[in-house]
A and B are shown apart, each in its own frame.
Chain A
Amino acid sequence: MPFSTSTFDYTSYHTLDEIYAFMDLLVAENPNLVSKLEIGHTTENRPIYVLKFSKGGTNRPAIWIDTGIHSREWVTQASGVWFAKKVWADLTSPKGLANILDQMDIFLEIVTNPDGFVFTHTSNRMWRKTRSKHSGALCVGVDPNRNWDAGFGGSGASSNPCSETYRGPYANSEPEVQAIVDFVKSHGNIKAFISIHSYSQLLLYPYGYTTTAVPDKEELHQVAKEAVAALSSLYGTNYKYGSIITTIYQASGGTIDWTYNQGIKYSFTFELRDTGRYGFLLPASQIVPTAQETWKALEVIMAHTRGHLY
């Protein structure tokens, strides 16, 4: 591992240990700005970490970003690492992020599904779910993006433990999900929640479990439109945007449906770039361009949130 985050290789994929070491480096280099919170433990007892970027204050309004809830979507964890460094690098910038951090904190969970991520490195590169076991079932794991208490058990999730979209035995059965639920509830002042997936070039807002439009649909649609325009301005990557159910398909128990129902108005989920050639095996050379263009969209969402605190 490098001795500083400046020499860290952002153009390569990394293991969980390397990413956790990177987080420690970032905290050590910037102890006044960055801290590492342990918000829970996984099924296999790995710690779940969140980076907190804060200029101080108590329980300030906050923005949450998570990457890697589906473990095989490696470009998301890699982008999360790049985002972490970018937040620090942009702090001295007179506009943009510096202004946001004057008012708000940012929480970044780079590896949201650590057990699954380790499994993709050691045993099965295509593993998507958690690693929880269920009595009476041969198959392992739950789709953590079907395990939230928002239309849980409805259409668009499977009750079959062998399915890639297995919802789990009950809502929040997965410690990785429960950890975020507990954190969001105890914090109580998160204003934007952005969950990042790959791949199909989409920016989505709630709902996924019902065709009922969210009350803030017009505003969320406009924010998504502006965010996608910013994203596309960098490399011309073409994104679609809209609600989950109208843009892709019905999916119950999803992350941002739950966060929206908790009162977090600016709830979005990304599906990062797809060249149409590699899917989940996006070459490492595309990590930085993917992260760069996504950051453009994140800036729009974060700036809008700061300008429209509620």
Chain B
Amino acid sequence: SRIQHILEGFYLLD
């Protein structure tokens, strides 16, 4: 199994 990158669950702000 792999750990899903947490960034996928968040919005990257400038």
Pair from one complex: no
